[in-house]
Amino acid sequence: MADMQKQGSQGYKRDQVIQIINSVIDRVHEVDQENLQRQLHDLKKIIEGMREELRTTRPLDIHSKHIPVASDELDAVVAATEEATGTIMDSCETIQSLFDSMDQATAASVEAEVTKIFEACSFQDITGQRITKVIGALKAIDDKVSVILKLVGTEFPGVGGAAGAKAAESEDESGDTEGDSDGRTGDAALLNGPQLPDQGISQEEIDRLLAEFD
Amino acid sequence: MVRFSLLRDLEKGERKVAVDMEMNVLIVDDYKTMLRIIKNLLAQLGFRNVDEATDGTMALELMRNKKYGLVISDWNMEPMTGLELLKQVRAATDQNAKVPFIMITAESKTENVIAAKQAGVNNYIVKPFNAETLKQKISAVLGAF
């Protein structure tokens, strides 16, 4: 990335490149080398096409629209499941308050089922944590895209933008421009759950592990 | 509801040691849903005095003023995690320094269990869990049921 920045600041600008290409094309025309002229024309078309494609893909939308929308939607999922879970548990507690009006056998059976519902409601905690991790990943993608937009914007005006530049400058200041590590150490590095299936260990394995300390 | 569970156990002869159901229990979790679930399950087991905290800092504040017989804590909380709470509880010299401490968490990696054990945890439950697992671990810690 540092090499790209260096090249960008010391190399030719876009307009200079086009000027040079046009100049070469003019001279090629004079010397009547048709094949070379055609190739240079093709090269020019490729560069212009690339610029147009970058512009039409609206990369700034990733930062200004897509990532925020995705984050908001996920936040809404967490809020909705929390509300629904609360409603379910309200109903369970209402049922529990009726135990005294039931005979003992019925109350015991209903209690067992209500317990299962409470256990199942823990999904909200797990999904909430997973969604929080996804939102964090989206933020990381947003930051990286902003850095790329800043670099692309330097060479192709109109493609990148101030938002990308701002994010990139922020990242430049922190010195965090590459690498997969999030830089956490010590106890903080232990916070990675919930693990996906087969990434963590089971309750039985945890029990065995704890027993080894005794 | 509570008495049914205990009666069933007594009838089966499974309950070996009496537990002080009046003991103060502190549950710590930043998810209201989980606090509610654990509190309800504890109520079913017969625990009547259950306090709630939404992070380690709030838990420590409660522990300064009350003696607890059991702490059940999540790990991943802000600003103070459950692991940091555990370390501070064990490092203190007050009435709660040796309180039985159960970690209930979605962190299920070996290094997490080892770190918690080294910090002084008494038992470790991985989420999602069921009422029977909670009962077993409390029993293992308090020597009851």
Each residue of A181-214: pLDDT tens digit? 567 888 888 988 788 777 889 999 999 999 998 8
Q: Does A198 touch chain B (CB under 8 A)?
A: no
Instruction: Please compute the mean of the pLDDT values over residues A162-182 and round it to a whole number.
Output: 47
A82: closest chain B residue by CA? B33
* β-sheet bridge partners, residue B73: B28, B103
Interface test with B, best of A98, A202, A206 (most B CBs within 10 A): A206
Q: Does A123 touch chain B (CB under 8 A)?
A: yes
Q: Do B125 and A192 touch (CB under 8 A)?
A: no
Report the SS3 class of residue B75: coil
DSSP state of A196: P
Q: Do A89 and B112 touch (CB under 8 A)?
A: no
Band of pLDDT at residue A3, cut at 50, 70 and 90: very low
Q: Do B81 and A187 touch (CB under 8 A)?
A: yes
Instruction: Please compute the mean of the pLDDT values over residues A128-157 and round it to a whole number.
Output: 83
Q: Does A201 touch chain B (CB under 8 A)?
A: yes
pLDDT in tens, chain B (145 residues): 333 344 344 344 444 557 788 999 999 999 999 999 999 999 988 999 999 999 999 999 999 999 999 999 999 998 999 999 999 999 998 899 999 999 999 999 999 999 999 999 999 999 989 999 999 999 999 976 5
- Calpha distance A4→B133 (Å, rounded): 56
Per-residue pLDDT at A92: 95
Per-domain boundaries in chain A: 11-56, 59-177
- Calpha distance B38→B41 (Å, rounded): 5
ipTM for the predicted complex = 0.73
Band of pLDDT at residue A159, cut at 50, 70 and 90: low
Would you say A180 and A141 are in contact if contact means Cβ atoms under 8 Å apart? no
Q: Do B40 and A89 touch (CB under 8 A)?
A: yes
Per-domain boundaries in chain B: 2-142
Q: Does A146 touch chain B (CB under 8 A)?
A: no
Would you say A71 and A56 are in contact if contact means Cβ atoms under 8 Å apart? no
Q: What percent of chain A has a predicted confidence (pLDDT) above 70? A: 78
Cα torsion for A91, A94, A96, A102, to the nearest 10°?
A: -120
Per-residue pLDDT at A56: 80
Question: Which class would CATH give B2-142?
Answer: alpha beta
Q: Does A11 touch chain B (CB under 8 A)?
A: no
Instruction: Please compute the mean of the pLDDT values over residues A33-59 and round it to a whole number.
Output: 82
Q: Is residue A174's pLDDT more than 60? A: no
* β-sheet bridge partners, residue A109: none
Q: Is residue A6's pLDDT more than 50? A: no
- Among the residue ranges A91-105, A139-153, A167-181, the one predicted with the least confidence is A167-181
Q: Is residue A132's pLDDT more than 70? A: yes
